[in-house]
């Protein structure tokens, strides 16, 4: 284990990785990285490395889960045993069950579920390496994968965390800030619909700090949203040019 | 929920809410009557039953000794589990915990843990080797909506009622003494849940409102009025403005409950 740093923010106001409080980590999004899936995406955010794949719309199994008037979304968030410092058992933990649920609920409002009655889609998320705020990066990637699968959507869902570290409100928590910080607020957002689709928090924040943190994470979301669109454009513009 | 009946009911509830009214006669931000009973299960180290309207939750605590986590060698361990018992509702089924009961356990856990309600350092017997482990078992006995707030309240009430074994350290040996001491508690988090129906927020949704809501949102507030845990649930969304408005209401509501319970 690495040594616990004493301060998460130095005298110059910079964070462990040299970022300013309101700065995002380096983000890379790739679309269509898996050939078997109907849609897929890969994201790197700091040291996070996460794959998301979408299968469907397709017939649901078991069939009794199907709904007469809309599509069903299933979601599995899973961490690879080698994704964290100490090996994680591959069996789904309670944390993973909860995250699968809240991630699914964060994606549902973005999809025109009623267009595909009696069907289902499966969203599979594999965290290959974890570096804090994995649920946010997972949502960002999963939404791009859903778009890549050609499923009609109201908007992309983009997620970003904010938190409190050494009494400062900061954007996009990395692993150490998540573990040793004072609060963590992950937010998922649909910018065009002005809709928050995931909101969690742990730690301690006053009402004013909470408001600052939510607004900061929404700013972060808007920046990542541009990257999501750019990544989709990169794949599909290339495809179009190939055809021409 | 998308059957015709729920759609009709949804319209009815939404129309009432637009006029500032609710099916059960409450105002939009009114909480149902709360009743708290403590110490009802003698075999448990601590226990409580909370009635929130007709929603009923029982919590029992047990204390055992065990090993601390390696990253917190000086701290006792808190373990929260929740059961949506089949006798509580026609929609609860027997079997291993599903995502709803796991989510409930983790919401209750987060409220207690993040508010630092228990003085966990006082639960350390021998650093790195032996600490007290506090088990909090949440039992939802009757589901009439918003079992989150009822469970969170019952968990804190049970912890306040918990006795732990008395011990002393003599020449490096841990010896249990007779008698009990109360579990060291520092904070009393209270959770308030909102439901969004169309574009309106209501506090403490009961069953019929929960069945038709777009989404819910729970917020735990500590003794100083700070937010210590949040969870959004359901397939709908909230606008940023609604979230900030809810935070203010949550603070007022928890102060109201705190006064009533003298926490």
Q: Is the pLDDT of residue B43 over 70?
A: yes
Cβ neighbours of residue B208 closer than 8 Å, sequence gap 6 or more: B9, B13, B23, B145
Domain with B195 in it: what CATH number? 3.30.230.70
Average pLDDT (B52-58) is: 98
The answer as to whether A174 is a domain residue is yes
On chain A, the residues whose CB falls within 8 A of the CB of B102 are: 94, 97-98
Q: Do A105 and B103 touch (CB under 8 A)?
A: no
The answer as to whether A77 is a domain residue is yes
The answer as to whether A160 is a domain residue is yes
Q: Do B238 and A199 touch (CB under 8 A)?
A: yes
Q: What are the tokens at A36?
A: 């078997």
Among the partner residues A69, A98, A214, nearest to B244 by beta-carbon distance: A214
Q: Do A196 and B106 touch (CB under 8 A)?
A: no
The answer as to whether A234 is a domain residue is yes
Q: Do B99 and A200 touch (CB under 8 A)?
A: no
Among the partner residues B2, B113, B240, nearest to A218 by beta-carbon distance: B240
**Residue in B82, B221, B222, B227 to test binding to A, most A beta-carbons within 10 Å:** B227
Residue B169: per-residue pLDDT: 76
Give percent above pLDDT 70 in chain B.
Answer: 98
Which residue on chain B is closest to A99 by alpha carbon?
B103
Mean of pLDDT over chain B: 94
CA angle A26, A27, A29 (to 5 degrees): 160
Q: Do B237 and A196 touch (CB under 8 A)?
A: yes
The answer as to whether A69 is a domain residue is yes
d(CA A202, CA A227): 28
Residue B1: per-residue pLDDT: 46
B168 pLDDT band, cuts 50/70/90, is: confident
Residue A1: per-residue pLDDT: 41
Which residue on chain A is closest to B110 by alpha carbon?
A202
Higher pLDDT, A237 or B47: B47
- Number of structural domains found in chain A: 1
Among the partner residues B2, B235, B243, nearest to A108 by beta-carbon distance: B235
Average pLDDT (B211-237) is: 96
Residue B29: per-residue pLDDT: 97
Query: In whole angstroms, how far apart are CA A58 and each of A63, A76, A149?
Result: 11, 17, 12
The answer as to whether A13 is a domain residue is no
Residue B165: per-residue pLDDT: 87
The answer as to whether A46 is a domain residue is yes
Q: Tens digits of per-residue pLDDT, B60-98?
A: 999 999 999 999 999 999 999 999 999 999 999 999 999
Residue A238: per-residue pLDDT: 77
What range does the domain containing B40 cover? 4-261
Sign of CA pseudo-dihedral B87, B92, B95, B101? negative
The answer as to whether A130 is a domain residue is yes
Domain with A66 in it: what CATH number? 3.30.230.70
Q: Do A201 and B227 touch (CB under 8 A)?
A: yes
Is residue B52 within 8 Å of residue B150, measured between CB atoms?
Answer: yes
On chain A, the residues whose CB falls within 8 A of the CB of B226 are: 204-207
Q: Do B227 and A207 touch (CB under 8 A)?
A: yes
Q: Minimum mean pLDDT among A64-68, B118-122, B175-179: which range?
A: B175-179
d(CA A48, CA A40): 17
What range does the domain containing A234 cover? 27-243
Contacts of A36-42 spanning 24+ positions with Cβ under 8 A: A37/A145, A37/A149, A38/A148, A38/A149, A38/A150, A39/A145, A39/A146, A39/A147, A39/A148, A39/A149, A39/A150, A39/A151, A40/A145, A40/A148, A41/A141, A41/A142, A41/A144, A41/A145, A41/A148, A41/A231, A42/A141
d(CA B74, CA B64): 16
Q: Do A207 and B102 touch (CB under 8 A)?
A: no
Query: In which residue ranges of chain A is pLDDT below 70?
Result: 1-5
Residue A4: per-residue pLDDT: 63
d(CA A58, CA B187): 49
B229–A contact, CB cutoff 8 A: yes
Q: Tens digits of per-residue pLDDT, B27-39?
A: 999 999 999 999 9
Q: Tens digits of per-residue pLDDT, B244-255?
A: 999 999 999 999
- Number of structural domains found in chain B: 1
Q: Is the pLDDT of residue B18 over 60?
A: yes
Residue B225: per-residue pLDDT: 96
d(CA A171, CA A184): 10
At B242 the three-state DSSP class reads helix
Residue B3: per-residue pLDDT: 67
Residue B171: per-residue pLDDT: 75
């Amino acid at each position: 284990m690495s040594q616990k740093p004493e301060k998460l923010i130095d005298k110059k106001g910079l964070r462990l990785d040299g970022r300013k409080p309101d700065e995002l980590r380096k983000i890379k999004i790739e679309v269509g990285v898996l050939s078997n899936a109907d849609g897929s995406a890969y994201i790197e955010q700091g040291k996070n490395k996460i794959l998301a794949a979408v299968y469907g719309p397709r017939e649901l199994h078991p069939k009794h889960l199907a709904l007469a008037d809309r599509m069903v979304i299933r979601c599995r968030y899973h961490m690879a045993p080698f994704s964290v410092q100490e090996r994680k058992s591959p069996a789904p933990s309670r944390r993973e069950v909860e995250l699968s649920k809240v991630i699914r609920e964060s994606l549902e409002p973005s999809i025109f579920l009623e267009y595909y009655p009696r069907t289902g889609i499966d969203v599979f998320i594999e965290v290959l390496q974890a570096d804090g705020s994995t649920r946010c990066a997972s949502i960002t990637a999963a939404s791009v994968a859903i778009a890549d699968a050609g499923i009609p959507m109201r908007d992309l869902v983009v997620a970003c965390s904010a938190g409190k570290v050494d009494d400062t409100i900061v954007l996009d928590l990395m692993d150490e800030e998540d573990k040793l910080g004072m609060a963590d607020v992950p937010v998922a957002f649909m910018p065009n619909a002005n809709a928050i689709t995931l909101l969690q928090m742990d730690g301690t924040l006053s009402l004013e700090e909470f408001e600052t943190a939510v607004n900061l994470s929404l700013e972060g979301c808007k920046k990542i949203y541009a990257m999501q669109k750019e990544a989709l454009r990169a794949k599909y513009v290339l495809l179009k040019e190939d055809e021409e | 929920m998308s059957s015709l009946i729920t759609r009709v009911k949804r319209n009815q509830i939404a129309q009432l809410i637009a006029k500032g009214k609710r099916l059960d006669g409450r105002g939009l931000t009114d909480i149902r009557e709360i009743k708290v009973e403590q110490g009802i299960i003698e075999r448990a180290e601590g226990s409580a039953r909370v009635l929130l309207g007709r929603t009923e939750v029982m919590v029992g605590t047990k204390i055992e000794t065990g090993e601390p986590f390696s990253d917190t060698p000086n701290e006792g361990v808190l373990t929260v589990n929740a059961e949506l018992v089949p006798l509580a509702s026609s929609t609860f089924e027997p079997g291993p915990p599903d995502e709803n009961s796991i989510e409930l356990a983790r919401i209750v856990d987060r409220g207690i843990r993040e508010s630092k309600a228990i003085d966990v350092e006082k639960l350390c017997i021998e650093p790195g080797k032996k600490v007290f482990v506090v088990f909090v078992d949440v039992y939802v006995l009757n589901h009439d909506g918003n079992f989150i707030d009822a469970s969170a309240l019952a968990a804190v009430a049970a912890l306040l009622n918990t006795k732990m074994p008395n011990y002393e350290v003599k020449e490096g040996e841990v010896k249990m003494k007779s008698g009990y001491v109360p579990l060291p508690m520092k904070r009393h988090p209270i959770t308030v849940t909102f439901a969004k129906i169309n574009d309106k927020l209501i506090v403490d949704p009961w069953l019929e409102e929960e069945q038709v809501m777009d989404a819910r949102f729970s917020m735990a507030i500590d003794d100083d009025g700070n937010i210590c845990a949040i969870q959004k649930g359901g397939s709908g969304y909230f606008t940023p403005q609604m979230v900030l408005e809810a935070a203010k209401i949550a603070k007022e509501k928890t102060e109201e409950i705190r006064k009533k319970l003298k926490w």
